[in-house]
Copies of this chain bind each other. A is one copy, B any other.
Amino acid sequence: MNTQNLLDPELPGTDPLGRFYAVIPAGGVGTRLWPLSRAAAPKFLHDLTGSGSTLLRATYDRLEPLSGEKVLVVTGDAHRDAVCLQLPEIADSNLVLEPEPKDSGAAIGLAAAILYLRDPSTIMGSFAADQVISPVEKFQDAVREAVYTAATGKIVTIGIKPTHASTGFGYIKTGSPLHVKGAPSAQTVVKFVEKPSEAVAEEYLVSGDYNWNAGMFVAPVELMLHHLEINEPELYEGLMEIAKAWDTPERVAVKNRIWPTLPKIAIDYAVAEPAADAGDVAVIPASFSWDDVGDFAAIARLNNAKEVDAVTVMGEGARVFTENSSGIVVTDTKRVIALIGIQDVVVVDTPDALLVTTRAHSQLVKNAVDGLKAKGDTDVL
């Protein structure tokens, strides 16, 4: 495969942006946001910021000015109708429905394979459907730089400049500037590192050499598949077989036959880290604000929510009475909710499930989901 043409992305007669195709993996239940987010109504189908758009729709709207209608969505079979309702623009051929979850390697790899067979010069950009970003313009500037850099033959991550010593994210260690035309921020990537301890996160923050790994990357599909073929040949073969059938009447039959046999692996291990070791990964450090809405504290932070005394209240038509209380209420019922003399509480009220916890414990919500699963209460998961 062609991984040449480094450093000057502009081949005669081509604008790299014209080769850009957006991929939106819309997966993940968002367990830490249970019971609001759940299997049947995952995080990306919610308007968690009070903007009037679901996270999925907001992701699409952020990318459309760059990609036009060249957007491919990968999601679970079960979410087909909900996704189509959110994104009526998406053609059937650009909606990849997973019969079962196979992690990001299969999801993003299949997108790459489908796009490669349609046009091998495509530059894909993969952006999860459940993140909150602002301002949109800074994000789009970073994606543009990433596309220019990708066109020089790089897998390009967009890194987020850390604002605090988070232990909740992986980090990207940046190297030297790449001097790419149209991409002044582009730098080499030294390595990806896992979620650090607090002390290590503090060092990362002070050094200035580390960015949060937001899981966003832009890359020539050819280069993606090159690394996938080397590192995960079985996955590569399976995905190529599906991709060959994709724009034919055999699409569903072949997908449903092959998909269950695919190995489960994250795209980080299948492509990004080995590619970084091979010197094929670049980073655009970006300074837009970014949140993966990891827990209810994040939701409270992101919302211009109604404040009732010291309680942040989210939910249309919420009827909340508080006295001497503080915390967060998220409701999608019209029930009256009264909080009396309770501090830092998190109440999430849905028609069939109720969560009561504290801000400090809101990261442990996953335990409830695991516990309920173990008890067989799967109807509310």
Contact = CB atoms under 8 A, between A and B. Distances in A.
B338 A354 contact: yes
A323 B364 contact: yes
A184 interface: no
A336 B371 contact: no
A253 interface: no
Contacts of A321: 368, 371-372, 375, 377
A355 interface: yes
Contacts of A34: 338
A63 to B, nearest CB: 35
A287 interface: no
Interface string A317-345: 00101011000000000011111111001
A368 B345 CA distance: 17
A361 interface: yes
Nearest to A323: B367
Interface string A343-364: 0010101011111111011001
B341 A361 contact: yes
Contact of A323 (B323, B340, B341, B371): B371
A288 to B, nearest CB: 32
A342 B342 CA distance: 10
A367 B349 CA distance: 22
B356 A345 contact: yes
Nearest to A371: B321
Contacts of A262: none
Contacts of A74: none
Interface residues of A, number: 36
A355 B325 CA distance: 12
A211 to B, nearest CB: 32
A93 to B, nearest CB: 39
A267 to B, nearest CB: 31
A239 interface: no
Contacts of A336: 35, 352-354, 372, 377, 380
Contacts of A372: 321, 336, 338
A365 B377 contact: no
A349 B354 contact: yes
A249 to B, nearest CB: 44
Interface in A167-214: none
A352 B352 CA distance: 12
Nearest to A360: B341
A225 B44 CA distance: 71
A351 B324 CA distance: 24
25 contacts: A35-B338, A319-B377, A321-B368, A323-B364, A323-B371, A335-B380, A336-B352, A336-B353, A336-B354, A337-B354, A337-B355, A337-B356, A338-B354, A338-B355, A338-B371, A338-B372, A339-B356, A339-B357, A340-B355, A341-B358, A341-B364, A342-B345, A342-B356, A342-B361, A345-B356
> Sorted from nearest, which 7 A-B pairs have the closest CB atoms?
A341-B361, A340-B357, A338-B368, A336-B353, A336-B380, A337-B354, A338-B355
Given A324-B361, A342-B356, A347-B356, 13 more contacts: A35-B336, A321-B371, A335-B351, A335-B354, A335-B380, A338-B356, A338-B371, A339-B357, A340-B364, A341-B357, A341-B361, A345-B345, A356-B356
Interface of A: 34-35, 319, 321, 323-324, 335-342, 345, 347, 349, 351-358, 360-361, 364-365, 367-368, 371-372, 375, 377, 380
